[in-house]
Chain A
Amino acid sequence: MRSTILNVFYPPHFPDDPDKSRVARYIHVIVLITFMALTALIVGSLFNNTHGNLSVILILDLALAAAGTFSAVQNRRGNVQLAASVMLASYWCVTTLFVFSDLRPEILFTITYDYLFIVVVSGLLMGKRAPFAVAATSSLSLLAWWLYLQGSTNGESSFLPGNLIASSALLFAVAAVINLIASSLRETNSLLHASLSDLKRTVSDLEGAQTLLQQRLERIQFMSQLASDFVTASTSDIDTTIHRALEIVTRFAKVERGYVFLLTEDGQTLILTHEWCMPGVLAHKGVLESLAVADFSEFVDSLKRGEVANVQTAEVPRTPDTKAMTDILDLLEIRSFVNIPMHVTNGFVGFIGFDATYTPTIWSEETIAEFRFTGQMIASTLERRRVEREIRLANSLLEQRVAERTLALEVANKELEAFSYSVSHDLRTPLRAIDGYSQALLEDCSSQLDSTGKNYLQRTRAATQRMGSLIDDMLKLARVTRNPLKKELVDLSSMVQTIAADLQEQQPARKAHWKIEPNLIAQADPALLKMALDNLIGNAWKFTSKIEETCIEFGQTPMHGDKTYYVRDNGAGFDMAYADQLFQPFYRLHGQTEFEGSGIGLATVQRVMTRHGGRVWVEAAVHKGATFYFTL
C-alpha cells in the first residue's frame, strides 16, 4: 500500500516504449504541479475569501482534483493519451469557469495566456488536431464570455472586439506554430525510432553471426584436435584413438551411437571394427557385427560411389524389398542414421556411421562434413597402420633373407677356404713329382737320352714350374676376398721403397731411376696393399726390362678429388683399346715369351682396391709406358 502511494511521486516508465515514457513523465510532472497549485489555491481560498463564492470554488477544486487523480491513475496504467486529454480538458474547463466567474474585461489577456498554455501543451502531448481544437473552443468560449459581458454591462465596457479577434488569432497562430514544431518533432522522433530499430536489428544480426562464428570456431578446434590425435597416434594406440574419436564426435553431434565398418580383403563382407555407444544404448556388438555385401548390394554400391546414406526411419517404406534394412533399424531402435563412405587411395574401405535412437535427427551439412572428416581420418590412419605392418613384414622377410644369404655365403666361404687349402696342398704335390722325376731322369738316365729328349724334359720342368706359380697367384687372388680387412695406417712410400730395393737387388745390373714421393700414408690393410703394390711395381719393373734406362715413379695426384696414387713406368705400355680387359683374371696383353706372367696380378690389384672401397684404372700408350692410378 505504502509503495502504491509512494509510486505516485515517481514517473511511470514503459521499458519497451521510450516515447510513451517521456510523455507520461511530462504528464506526471504537470499533474503534480497542478495538484500543488490547487492545494495552495484551496488553502488560500479558505483563509482569504476573495471570490465570495467559496462553495463554487470548492466544488471546482474538488472536480479538478478528481480529474487530476483520474489522469494520474490513467497515466500510471499506461493510458497516456487519455490521461493527457482528461488533464487538459479539466484544466480548460476550470479556466473557462473562472472566465465566466469574473467579468472584468482586463482579464482577457490573462485568460488568453491560460488558453495558450493549454494549446501548447496539447500540441506537444496529443495529436495534430488537438491545438486547433483547443484554439477553436477557447475562441468560442472567449466570444461567449464577451457576448455575456456585453449583455451584462450594456455595451459600456471598454473591451473592444479587436482585442477578442487578436486573442483568437494569437491562439490559432500559436496552435499552427506548435503543430508545426510538434509534427517536426514527431517526424524526427519516428526517424530516430526507425534508425534505432534498424540498429537493434543490426546488433541482433551481429550477435547471431558471432554465435555462428563461435560455433564454427569450436568445430574447427574440435576437428583439428581430432586430426592431431590421429596424426600423432602410434600404431599400437590407433584403436584407442578411434574409439575416443567416435565418442567425442558422437557426443558432439548429440546422438547415441558411432561406429566403423570395414570391408574385408576379399570385398565380400563389411565388419564392425570400432564402436562407441552412449551408456544404456544397445550396441551393434553382439547384435550386428557384419554385413554381407551381397545382401546390401544397393546400399554398398551407393557408398562406393561416395554417396552418404542419410535416412529417417519413419520415411523408410515398409515393403518386402526394404525388409532387411527395416529389420535392422527396428532391432537397433534406430530413429535416424547417417552412414558415410571412407575412401583411401586404393578405393572404398568401409564406412563410418552414427545413429540417433532417442529422437529422429536431421543432420546439417556441416555435421555430415564433420562425420566425413572423422571417417577420412580413421580410414587414413588405418591405412597407415596397414602399410606400416606391410613394411614391417617386408622388413622381417628381408632380414630373414639376408640372414639366409649370409649363412649361404658363410658356407660358400668355408667351402672356398677348403678348396683353396686343397688346391694349395694337393695341386702342387703332383707338380713337384713331375718336376722331380724329370730332374731324376735327366740326372740318372742322361746317357740314354739324346738332346731332343733332354730338351723335352727341360720343357716339362719349365711348364711345371709355371703352373706352380700360376697356382700360387690364384691362391693369392682368392685370399684377397677371403680374409677380413684389417685397416691401419700404412706408409705407402716406404713399402714401395722396400719393393724397389728387392727388385733392384735381384737384378743389380739393371739401370733404374726410382722416383718415390715420400711420406704417403694411407688407412689400409697392409698385407693386401703390399700384395697390390708388389704387383704394380713388379709389373712396372717387368715391362721396363727391355728399356735401356728404367724410370719408375710412385706418387700422389689430386686428380678426381680423392687421394689418387699412381705408379708410372716408361716401359712397353699397351694399346688403350685393351685397357678394359686388363683387369680380368688370366687376361694377358703380352706373350709368355715376351713377358712372363700369369695374368692374375692386375685382377688381384683391382680386388684389393675394391675391397678398400677404391678403384684402379690405367693410362697407357704402346712403347710410351703406362700409369696405373688407384684410390683407397
Chain B
Amino acid sequence: MGNKVILLVEDNPDDELLTIRALKQNRLANDIIVAHDGVEALDYLFGTGNYAGRDLSIMPQLILLDLKLPKINGLEVLRRIRENERMTALPIVVLTSSDEEKDLIESYQLHANSYVRKPVDFTQFLEAIRQIGMYWLVLNRIPS
C-alpha cells in the first residue's frame, strides 16, 4: 500500500496505542502520524508550527479524528480543514467515544466522511478499525 499516510488525531495515549495496535494487526499502517491535539493536527496539515517546512505534497490518505481534544477541539479542526479548498476531498473519519446526537449531526454538517463510535469491546474495536482501513485505504479513491 505504498506511502499511504494515516493522520491519527488522538490525545489519549491508551487510545493512541490501541488504535495503532489495531491498525498494525490489520496490516494497514505504513506511516502513522499522531497529533495529540487540534493545534498539532492543523500544524501538520498546513506545514506550520512544529511541522514548518514539511513537504506539503505528502498529504494523509485518511484522517482519524477524535472530537474531544485539548486546545482546538475536533469539530473546529474539521471546520478548518474543510475551509481549505485543497483539502475538501481529504477523507476524515470521526472516531470518538461520544454517542451524542449533537456531535454526530454537527460532524456531518462540517462534511466529515464518516462517524464511528469507538466500541468498548476491543474485539469490536479491532473489527471497526479493520473495516475503516479496508474501505478508506484500499477501496476508496481520492484525487491525487
- A: residues with CB less than 8 A from B are 420-421, 424-426, 428-433, 435-440, 461, 464-465, 467-468, 472, 475
Partner of A432, one of B67, B68, B100, B118: B118
Q: A429-B12, A429-B15, A432-B14 are in contact. Are A439 and B97 (CB under 8 A)?
A: no
| A424, B97: Cβ atoms closer than 8 Å | yes
Say yes or no: B120 contacts A425, CB within 8 Å: no
B120 close to A428 (CB less than 8 A): yes
CA–CA, A425 to B95, complex, Å?
A: 11
A435's partner among B12, B21, B122 (CB-CB below 8 A) is B122
Q: How many residues of B contact A (CB 8 A)?
A: 21
Enumerate B78-120 residues with CB–CB distance to A below 8 Å: 96-100, 118-120
Instruction: List, in ascending order, chain B residues with CB within 8 A of A472's CB.
Output: 99
Do A428 and B97 touch (CB < 8 A)? yes
The listed residue (A426, A430, A439) touching B123 by CB distance below 8 A is: A439
Residues of A close to B67: CB separation below 8 A: 425
Q: Say how far A486's CB is from chain B's closest CB, in angstroms.
A: 12
Report the minimal beta-carbon distance from A527 to chain B, rounded to whole angstroms.
9
A426: chain B residues within 8 A (beta carbon)? 68, 97
Contact status B21-A440, CB under 8 Å: yes
Quote the shortest CB–CB distance from A441 to chain B (angstroms). Answer: 11
CA gap between A461 and B119 in the complex, in Å: 13
B100 touches A424 (CB 8 A): yes
Given A425-B68, A429-B12, A429-B14, verify A435-B100 contact (CB < 8 Å): no
Q: Which B residues are CB-close (under 8 A) to A429? A: 12, 14-15, 97, 118
Q: Which of B13-36 touch A at CB < 8 Å?
A: 14-15, 17-18, 21
Q: Which residues from chain A contact B99 at a C-beta distance below 8 Å?
A: 424, 472, 475
Closest to B123 in A: A439
For B51, list chain A residues within 8 Å (CB): none
Please give the distance in Å from B130's CB to the nearest CB on chain A. Answer: 14
Q: Which residue of chain A lies nearest to B11 when distances are taken between CB atoms in the complex?
A: A429
Answer whether residue B125 sits at the interface, using C-beta atoms and an 8 A cutoff.
yes
- Asked whether, in the complex, the Cβ of A432 is within 8 Å of the Cβ of B122, the reply is yes
- Count: A-B pairs, CB below 8 Å: 68
Asked if B121 CB lies within 8 Å of chain A CBs, one says yes
Q: Contacts of A461 on B, CB cut-off 8 Å?
A: 121-122
Chain A residues near B96: list those with CB within 8 A.
Answer: 425
Q: Bound complex: CA of A421 vs CA of B68, how far in Å? A: 10
Are the CB atoms of A435 and B120 closer together than 8 Å?
yes
Which residues in A have their C-beta under 8 angstroms from that of B14?
429-430, 432-433, 436-437
Given known contacts A432-B125, A436-B14, is B120 in contact with A468 (CB within 8 Å)?
yes
Contacts of A440 in B (CB 8 A): 18, 21, 122
9 pairs of A and B residues whose beta carbons are closest in the complex: A468-B120, A433-B14, A436-B18, A439-B122, A436-B122, A435-B122, A428-B97, A425-B97, A431-B120
In Å, the complex CA distance between A178 and B114 comes to 146
Chain B: which residue is nearest A444 at the CB level?
B21
A429 to B118, CA, bound (A): 9
B98 touches A425 (CB 8 A): yes
A424:B18 contact, CB within 8 angstroms: no
> In the complex, are the beta carbons of A433 and B21 less than 8 A apart?
no
Contact with A along B110-144 (1 / 0, CB 8 A): 00000000111111011000000000000000000
Contacts of A421 in B (CB 8 A): 98, 100
B9 to chain A, nearest CB (A): 15
Contacts of A464 in B (CB 8 A): 120-121
- With a cutoff of 8 Å between Cβ atoms, the chain B residues found around residue A424 in the complex are 97-100
